[in-house]
Structure 1
Amino acid sequence: MSIELSPKAAEIVACARTLLAVGGYNSFSYADISASVNISKASIHHHFASKAELVRKLLVLYREETRAGLAAMGQQITEPVAQLRAYTGYWAACIRDGSAPFCVCAMLAAELPAIPAEVADEVRGHFLDLSAWLTSVLTRGAAQGAFVLKTSPEAEALRFMATVHGAMLSARAYGDPEIFASIVEPMMHQLTTE
């Protein structure tokens, strides 16, 4: 389900994405976007009738972007260990340079009880997409002897995902991007050794 956006709507979505990554769903309003994008609140409502609609569309696009990125990486990097390293390397770089210091869906997952249902559905969808991808990478890697899994690929995928998101949170809490790698690297080592 691809969403076509006008240039101004795309600018609004980009602004909202930044605001979400920094503070979550309840940390911003249309007034914040208005000031940043230099557009009236009424004009934002023209593009997105509600904040829930804006964030839902943002997440639809985020999920499409993530799926496309993982598919492209899979075509460029075929070795499962290298795929997981590329995935964690992407987040390490984003955290280090501040371009995407936190997964938007991980931020919103913490707010699930307090966000609109249509937004929560997209957040859950992202986690399902990501765990399915991780499960497939871990399954292939285990079959090739590249990974030593202590539990099922599905359980290991959930552990991997939780570790990566926890590492993001720790890097943010300590204000130290290098903490991300210090948490993720031991997990990679455990997956690749007996």
Structure 2
Amino acid sequence: MNDTRSEIIRIGSELIRSIGYNSFSYADISKALNIKNAAIHYYFPSKSDLGVEIIRENLNAFNELTKTWESLDYKSQFSNYIHMHDSFINNHWVCIVGSLSPSYDTLPENMQKELQGLVNTILKWLTALLDKGLKNNAFSFAETPRTKAFMVHSALLSSLQMNKVLRNDVYKSIQEGLLNI
């Protein structure tokens, strides 16, 4: 992938995670990279094209990451999922889903569709993991695996958001609680 294109995606992703999709412009990216707005438009004619690519890169990264976990036991896979965003804490970032979901209704339709696909992929993977782990006695919970997946994913999303606001250990506390299933 072209270095300039990759850097545009990286900066765009960081801006979404830190200040949100609706709060940045191509001018923010061009300033950070010391390039002209036209260079960004060359790769991404519209801001939603950039947003779609960022979501797709997150989807690909999630799929690649979970593939590397396949040989691990259920609890280890679950623990890896729970700790997936640890690096965001020091930057006071939220995950891409946590950043884009609150402004979902204001997102362009192509981004809404991609975001739905990302969330559905995450929940499908997590539900399957919880289901297999429950059937093999690796996990113990009363809810259906799908409901538990909703609860786990929602808790992680909100803990990152609350941690951003409170700048304390909300995220770590929620992680510890989730790991006790």
Same fold at TM > 0.5: yes
- 2:129 — aligned with what? 137
Contact in 1 for aligned 2:51/2:111 (Cα 8 Å): yes
CA distance in 2, matches of 1:84, 1:181: 15
Counterparts of 1:14-93 in structure 2, within 5 Å, are 14-75=10-71, 78-91=72-85, 93=86
Report the count of equivalent residues.
Answer: 181
- 1:179 — aligned with what? 170
Identity %: 23
**2:104 pairs with one of 102, 108, 112:** 112
CA distance in 2, matches of 1:108, 1:140: 30
Structure 1 residue 102 and structure 2 residue 94: aligned?
yes
- SS in structure 1 of the partner of residue 127 of structure 2: helix
CA distance in 1, matches of 2:141, 2:165: 30
Q: Which runs of 4+ in 1 moved over 6 A?
A: none
- Relative contact order, higher structure (CA 8 A, sep 6+): 2
Gapped runs of 5+ residues in structure 1?
none
CA distance in 2, matches of 1:118, 1:40: 25
> In the TM superposition, what whole-angstrom CA distance separates every residue of 1:55-100 from its partner, at most 9, and x where no partner exists?
111111111111111111223xx21111111122232x313443x8
CA RMSD after TM alignment: 1.4
**What TM-score do you get using the length of structure 2 for normalisation?**
0.94
Contact in 1 for aligned 2:20/2:100 (Cα 8 Å): yes
Query: Which residue identity lines up with residue 177 of structure 2 in the other structure?
Result: P
CA distance in 1, matches of 2:48, 2:93: 23
Contact in 2 for aligned 1:109/1:120 (Cα 8 Å): no
**What TM-score do you get using the length of structure 1 for normalisation?**
0.88
Give, in angstroms, the shift of residue 156 of structure 1: 0.8
Gapped runs of 5+ residues in structure 2?
none
Query: Which residue identity lines up with residue 179 of structure 2 in the other structure?
Result: M
> In the TM superposition, what whole-angstrom CA distance separates every residue of 1:94-121 from its partner, at most 9, and x where no partner exists?
13443x8311122101110101011111
Structure 1 residue 160 and structure 2 residue 152: aligned?
yes
CA distance in 1, matches of 2:144, 2:75: 17
